[in-house]
Chains A and B, each alone.
Chain A
Amino acid sequence: MNSHASAINDAMELTAAEPLLQLLQEGLPIVERPYAQLAEQLGWSEQQVLDTMAWLADSDIVRRMGIIVKHRTLGFKANAMVVWDVPDDQVDAVAELMAAEPAVTLCYQRPRRLPEWRYNLFCMIHGYERDAVLARLSELTDKLGLNDISHQPLFSTRCFKQCGGRYLDKAPTGGVKDV
């Protein structure tokens, strides 16, 4: 199959999988046969749900499927979003190095917003306490030779909300319509 045909195929599969994905954002029922329960809600067969689950798991539409833990409740009380001001011509290379470090759980490039915001690379470092996170950060900086790159750890002090994203919600709750 050529890549155009495969893209169309993916789009069709996604459309077919969407109702299931929507239910999965609410969470898999915790009962003996959860997929049968979802099937009933969807008007599908259990096998159809299982097949779609298998397809989703292999696709790049979901980053992961599984138990989604609230890291703060589990004791990962310290989490720093470390922001870096990396010269543009080095940012890809630095990001790749960083992403390979076990201490780093996420690593994203984002745009600068000058003059208010000059940082273009973001990574997350989690730990049981603040000092441990700072120690991991300083190890990482030394190991990767990043001491000359201006950076700041932004520790979170409170979590007001953590829940699944509603990417597929077809009915926005606010007063603004999609255009």
Chain B
Amino acid sequence: MTLTDQERQLLNSYQRGLPVDARPYAVMAESCGMTEQQVIERLQSWQDSGVVSRIGAVVNHQKVGSSTLAALAVPEQDIDRVAEQVSAFAEVNHNYQREHVYNLWFVLAAPTKARVDAVLEQIKTETGLPLLNLPMLKSHHLDLGFAL
């Protein structure tokens, strides 16, 4: 995807922080040399095409709710089926295949730890596969978004 300088600036400037203004897209537009309408159209089309997943908040799960990173060791030929099984849980918000014996890695989030544990247990039972539960012990980095 090719971005104009203004679009690049828009994406780089607003991954951290939304203008707290009745017309936030007008504020974004002004700082990037675009019109409010252009910003709205761009964001809508990026969201439609999947470049942007949403404009919103990334919750700090050390403060709100509970989450964990988990991994399954899936036989190569079963990966599609198992991935689908795992993704079907609303509590799973990231699900990636990675190069390792533990080859399916996913993040679970829920309002309570009890719910996270229950979903893990269900995944373990449904798949019958070895599962790693690796909750975060300590975070050393702020989530800064991506420099484009």
Contacts and interface: CB of A to CB of B under 8 A. Distances in A.
A1 interface: no
Nearest to B51: A73
B98 A81 contact: yes
A116 interface: yes
Contact of A71 (B10, B14, B112, B146): B146
Interface in A4-54: 14, 21, 24-28, 30-36, 46, 50, 53-54
B141 A176 contact: no
Interface string B98-129: 11101001110111101100110010000000
B136 A160 contact: no
B21 to A, nearest CB: 8
Interface string A162-179: 111111111011101011
B111 A98 contact: no
Contacts of A167: 59, 61, 64-67, 109-111
A64 B15 contact: yes
Interface residues of A, number: 80
B146 A110 contact: no
Interface string B38-71: 0010011001011111111111110111110100
SS class, residues of chain B in contact with chain A: mixed
Given A66-B15, A95-B140, A158 B55 contact: no
Contacts of A96: 140
SS class, residues of chain A in contact with chain B: mixed
A141 B127 CA distance: 37
Contact of B141 (A26, A30, A104): A104
A177 to B, nearest CB: 8
Given A64-B15, A105-B141, A117-B134, A157 B97 contact: yes
B33 interface: no
A161 B93 contact: yes
Interface in A49-71: 50, 53-54, 56-57, 60-71
Contacts of A30: 25, 40, 43-44, 47, 55
B55 A50 contact: no
B75 interface: no
Interface of A: 14, 21, 24-28, 30-36, 46, 50, 53-54, 56-57, 60-71, 73-76, 81, 92, 95-96, 98-99, 104-111, 113, 116-117, 122-123, 126, 152, 154-170, 172-174, 176, 178-179
Given A30-B25, A30-B47, 5 more contacts: A34-B25, A57-B18, A69-B148, A73-B1, A172-B110
